[in-house]
């Protein structure tokens, strides 16, 4: 973590550990050891509420839906730099890891992404070579240019990436790169998003593709690592964690009891197609694939709006690793 400064270290939970000199250390100790004169990364989050009016000169803009814009000064992470401590620790201990969740490729600048991407892809390849059972999830993001996303997506098939995650906008962008766009005008239906995810899965050969939206989380997986009920439980964990963080500022708080109406309707539609029910979610097994969908919880007055998709993804990933370990022990 070359960008680990005192401010970031203070935000991390006490249980978090980072590689330092061949062992794992608390964030504060890492920040102190790597102290330098570089300014810490800064991220400005501009939140917009539906219906808000923004004036620019004589022009007036009305926000169509809740959204945000993030502006960053972060030269270290945009270069995907990693410390020697991190690289060496991972390579030495990767055989003991169950999984790796990868993100940040969307931060790459247009100027030198072609130099940086192969280096990082080779790093993932080296991990997978040492530990073929390592479950790797790659989370997309809002890329600065379609060229960068296109370059990454074509490299993905060269590394045994197991899982690919994104939001609905990123699904649209990724599908468009492969000429898989189902509908030009938003919002797309859940059926169209499922079809785009399945086509993306076929194009990349990835075991799992997941999409988190404001209304629901869905995933398409191939028969293999874990059964449908484990995937539904994982998605539900993601929904609950994101809702708890949004409502109370902590994932440990009880989630909201209210569910998104569009998400509930999508799950009901899936059940009418023959899907089995589990809680508020539904799973349909067909043609060697398992389609799972869980409605999002509704939070009317959120305390936190940034990082909810990432929170859901991390919770889902942890539950899936537990399921993989559990099923491996039974086989």
Is there a contact between 283 and 220 (Cβ–Cβ < 8 Å)? no
Please indicate, yes or no, whether residues 324 and 266 belong to a single structural domain of this protein: yes
Q: Which of 99-103, 208-212, 269-273, 323-327 has the lowest mean pLDDT?
A: 323-327
Average pLDDT (190-197) is 92
Q: Please identify, among 149, 174, 206, the residue that sits at the C-terminal boundary of a domain.
A: 206
Please indicate, yes or no, whether residues 258 and 218 belong to a single structural domain of this protein: yes
Q: Please identify, among 206, 231, 254, the residue that sits at the C-terminal boundary of a domain.
A: 206
Please indicate, yes or no, whether residues 154 and 196 belong to a single structural domain of this protein: yes
In Å, how far from its chain's centre is CA 198? 18
Tokens of 304: 């936190």
pLDDT digits (tens, 9 = 90+) for 237-284: 999 999 999 888 888 888 888 999 999 999 999 999 999 999 999 999
Distance (Å) of CA 259 to CA 13, 73, 288, 292, 301: 29, 36, 30, 17, 14
Q: How many domains does the chain have?
A: 2
Please indicate, yes or no, whether residues 218 and 329 belong to a single structural domain of this protein: yes
**pLDDT for position 184:** 46
* Residue 247 φ/ψ, nearest 5 degrees: -80, -40
d(CA 309, CA 315): 10
Please indicate, yes or no, whether residues 140 and 253 belong to a single structural domain of this protein: no
Tokens of 201: 């899965």
Is there a contact between 17 and 25 (Cβ–Cβ < 8 Å)? yes
Residue 295 has pLDDT above 80, yes or no: yes
Closest by CA position to 177, among listed 191, 157, 163: 157
- The DSSP result for 312-323, as a single string, is HHHHHHHHHHHH
**Domain containing 145 — which CATH number?**
3.30.750
How do beta strands 135-139 and 216-222 pair? unpaired
Domain membership of residue 65 (yes or no) is no
Residue 37 has pLDDT above 70, yes or no: no
Please indicate, yes or no, whether residues 325 and 226 belong to a single structural domain of this protein: yes
Please indicate, yes or no, whether residues 202 and 125 belong to a single structural domain of this protein: yes
Distance (Å) of CA 187 to CA 62, 182, 259: 18, 11, 20
Is there a contact between 154 and 177 (Cβ–Cβ < 8 Å)? no
Domain membership of residue 35 (yes or no) is no
Domain membership of residue 218 (yes or no) is yes
Domain membership of residue 157 (yes or no) is yes
* Domain residue limits at 159: 97-206
Instruction: Give the containing element (helix H, strand E) for 218.
Output: strand 216-222
Please indicate, yes or no, whether residues 316 and 225 belong to a single structural domain of this protein: yes
Domain membership of residue 114 (yes or no) is yes
Domain membership of residue 20 (yes or no) is no
**pLDDT for position 36:** 66
Residue 130 has pLDDT above 90, yes or no: yes
Domain membership of residue 57 (yes or no) is no
Please indicate, yes or no, whether residues 328 and 237 belong to a single structural domain of this protein: yes
Question: Does pTM top 0.85 for this prediction?
Answer: yes
Q: Please identify, among 206, 231, 261, the residue that sits at the C-terminal boundary of a domain.
A: 206
Mean pLDDT, all residues of the chain:
88
Please indicate, yes or no, whether residues 195 and 243 belong to a single structural domain of this protein: no
Domain membership of residue 59 (yes or no) is no
Which position has the higher pLDDT, 235 or 40? 235
Average pLDDT (12-17) is 89
Please indicate, yes or no, whether residues 112 and 138 belong to a single structural domain of this protein: yes
Is there a contact between 80 and 104 (Cβ–Cβ < 8 Å)? yes
Please indicate, yes or no, whether residues 134 and 192 belong to a single structural domain of this protein: yes
């Amino acid at each position: 973590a070359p960008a680990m400064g005192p401010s970031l270290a203070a935000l991390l939970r006490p249980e978090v550990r980072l590689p330092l000199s061949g062992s794992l250390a608390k964030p504060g100790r890492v920040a102190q050891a790597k102290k330098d004169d570089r300014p810490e990364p800064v991220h400005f989050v501009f939140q917009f509420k539906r219906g808000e009016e923004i004036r620019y000169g004589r022009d007036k803009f009305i926000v169509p839906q809740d959204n945000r814009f993030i502006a960053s000064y972060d030269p270290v992470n945009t270069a995907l730099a990693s410390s020697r401590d991190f690289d060496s620790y991972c390579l030495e201990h990767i055989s003991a890891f169950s999984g790796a969740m990868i993100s940040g490729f969307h931060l790459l600048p247009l100027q030198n992404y072609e130099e940086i991407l192969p280096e990082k892809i080779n790093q993932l390849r080296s991990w997978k070579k040492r530990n073929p059972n390592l479950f790797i999830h790659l989370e997309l993001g809002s890329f600065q240019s379609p060229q960068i996303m296109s370059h990454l997506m074509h490299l993905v098939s060269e590394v045994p990436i197991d899982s690919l995650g994104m939001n609905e906008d990123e699904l649209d962008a990724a599908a468009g790169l492969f000429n898989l766009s189902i509908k030009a005008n938003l919002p797309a239906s859940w059926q169209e998003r499922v079809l785009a995810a399945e086509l993306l899965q076929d194009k990349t050969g990835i075991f799992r593709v997941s999409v988190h939206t404001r209304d629901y989380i869905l995933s398409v997986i191939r028969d293999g690592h874990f059964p449908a009920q484990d995937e539904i439980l994982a998605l539900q964990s993601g929904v609950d964690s994101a809702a708890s963080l949004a409502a109370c500022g902590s994932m440990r708080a009880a989630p909201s009891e209210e569910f998104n109406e569009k998400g509930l309707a999508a799950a009901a539609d899936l059940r009418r197609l023959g899907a089995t029910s589990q809680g508020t979610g539904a799973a349909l097994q067909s043609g060697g694939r398992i389609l799972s969908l869980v409605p999002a919880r509704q939070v009317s007055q959120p305390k936190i709006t940034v990082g909810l998709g990432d929170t859901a993804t991390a919770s889902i990933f942890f539950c899936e690793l537990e399921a993989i370990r559990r099923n491996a022990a039974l086989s």
